[in-house]
Amino acid sequence: MVTKQYHEVRDPIHIFVRLDSDERRILDSPPVQRLRHVHQLAMSYLVYPGATHKRFEHALGIMELAGRVFDVVTSDSNLHPSIWTTVPEIGRRDQRDYWRKVLRMAALCHDIGHLPFSHAAEKELLPNDWSHERISKELILSEDLKSIWHGMIPPMDPMHVAKIAVGKKEFGDTEFSTWEAVLSELITGDVLGVDRMDYLLRDSHHTGVAYGRFDHYRLIDTMRLLPASQQSDEPAVGIEIGGLHSAEALLLARYYMFMQVYHHQVRMAYDFHLQQFLQSWLSNGHLSTDLDDHQQLTDNEVLAAISKAAKEPSAPGNEPASRIMNRKHFKPVYTQTRQDREAYDDPLTAIAQACVENYGADKVHKSEYHQNTTVPDFPVVDSTGRVVSAYGISDVLQQIPRVEVGRVLIDPDLADEAKGWIEGQKHEILSRA
């Protein structure tokens, strides 16, 4: 009997995801299997009922796209002349298969450190200097997975996988080769990373919010490794100019999905109540960074605990649990505008503080999100071979607004009164601040 060397998994976004037996072993490992029980979008299913998809299928999706992108950017006919010198690894054809596999493995393991309910639980609940990326790194380098990496033929260096999976930021002074930095950018890049490509398409599909779609086939087909700019020979991930519209569409999709889905006002309220519950329920109010503890905790355990606590008035976390189970979430009473930000110094904090003084700290929550990237930019090679800045030539990229969201949320029983109060007092509150 012939042992199957390649396996297929059906996927609603990419139709089929194919993986070899080594990749199947990593897929079957406990850290990756755990992702079957971690929601991709936390409690967004309470807003968009279809958003029940998990990190597991997203991991498969990133792996699939990573392989496709690698094949395009390393194809000899797509290589910019300078890349042969600036990325010497490109010329070692015997090593290309190895690095392709490393990239796909890194993509598969990129999110294994995620906590229950993904980003919702991370903020405030991990000790300083810890993040899900750091946990991913530790898991990739752990003894459990090392035995799989070393058992491959040829053996895979887990440090290669870890560096590419989580990127430079988690590795401090550890040296990254240019090649490793470029491969990591293919997964984690702010603009052209496959992590973002997959989650936009997948989240759009499952929520039913159409604005997350873009032509990823065209975009991937035009991706190239290029000098970062006219003024730098350092390689970066870019595109040839035929893909500019699809790149613009991706960035517009990101903006709309951030505004409509990821920072939906009700979703943000549930994130807050989830944090409140976890702080009461967890011993010491923090999530453990011990890898074994981490592996035991998924959304299942947290949801069971929320359901139980909601029914027991004396249980720790009863109030936030009740809010989650009974849809008594906080409601927005103030949304910060650009006009307010231009006219006043930190209007969101001023309004939130005034509400706290008027209604009590336990009835008010300040919810804010600041885009943590500066400007969407990447190199573009035009029809003459000249490398230019995407931001410099794209009217669309120059106009896409930053995602800056600020709201004051309040107990639903006080919301109507608070809205009227803020409307009447707003100018005085902001002028005083």
Partner 1 sequence: MGPMSRRVRRAILSQLVEAMHGAGSWVGETHIQKSVYFMQGLLGIQMGYSFVLYKHGPYSFDLRNELSAMMGSLELDVEPRPPYGPSFVLGPRGGRDIELPFQVGDAIRFVGENLSIRHTRELERLSTALLLQTANRHMTAQEVASLMNRIKPHIPVPDARSAVEQVAELRAKMTASQEPGMP
Name every residue whose Cβ is closer than 8 Å to that of residue 81 and which is 6 or more positions away in sequence: none
> Would you count residue 393 as binding partner 1 (CB under 8 A)?
yes
Name which position in 76, 94, 143, 173 contacts partner 1 (CB under 8 A): 173
| Cβ distance to partner 1 smaller for residue 310 or 352 | 352
Binding of residue 388 to partner 1 (CB under 8 A): yes
Tokens standing for 190? 């702010």
- Long-range CB pairs of 294-300 (<8 Å, 24+ gap) are 294/113, 294/115, 294/135, 294/139, 295/30, 295/31, 295/34, 297/115, 297/116, 298/34, 298/37, 298/38, 298/116, 299/37, 299/38, 299/39, 299/116, 299/117, 300/37
- The minimum distance between CB 343 and partner 1, in angstroms, equals 9
Q: Which of 143, 342, 385, 432 binds partner 1 (CB under 8 A)?
A: 342
In the complex with partner 1, the residue whose CB is nearer, 5 or 374, is: 374
Enumerate residues 399-418 that contact partner 1 by CB under 8 A. 402, 404
Structure token digits, residue 222: 């035009």
Output the six-digit token pair for 79.
Answer: 């290589």
Q: Is 377 in the site for partner 1 (CB under 8 A)?
A: yes
Given candidates 68, 78, 82, 98, which one binds partner 1 under the rule CB under 8 A? 82
User: Minimum distance from CB of 372 to partner 1 (Å)?
Assistant: 5
At residue 129, the 3 state secondary structure works out as coil
Among 10, 93, 370, 432, binds partner 1 (CB under 8 A): 370
Among 109, 115, 126, 181, binds partner 1 (CB under 8 A): 181
Examine residue 383 and tell whether it contacts partner 1 (CB under 8 A). no
Dihedral sign for Cα atoms in the order 230, 234, 240, 245: negative
What's the sign of the alpha-carbon dihedral 55, 59, 60, 66?
positive
User: Residue 346: phi, psi to the nearest 5?
Assistant: 50, 65
Tell me if 372 contacts partner 1 by CB under 8 A.
yes
Residues 200-239 binding partner 1 (CB under 8 A) are 228-235
85 counts as binding partner 1 under rule CB under 8 A: yes
Alpha helices in 74-175 (DSSP H): 83-86, 93-109, 119-122, 132-140, 143-151, 158-166
Nearer to partner 1, 262 or 281 (CB): 262
Binding site for partner 1 (CB under 8 A): 82, 85-88, 168-169, 172-173, 175-178, 181, 228-235, 338, 341-342, 345-346, 370-375, 377, 386, 388-393, 398, 402, 404
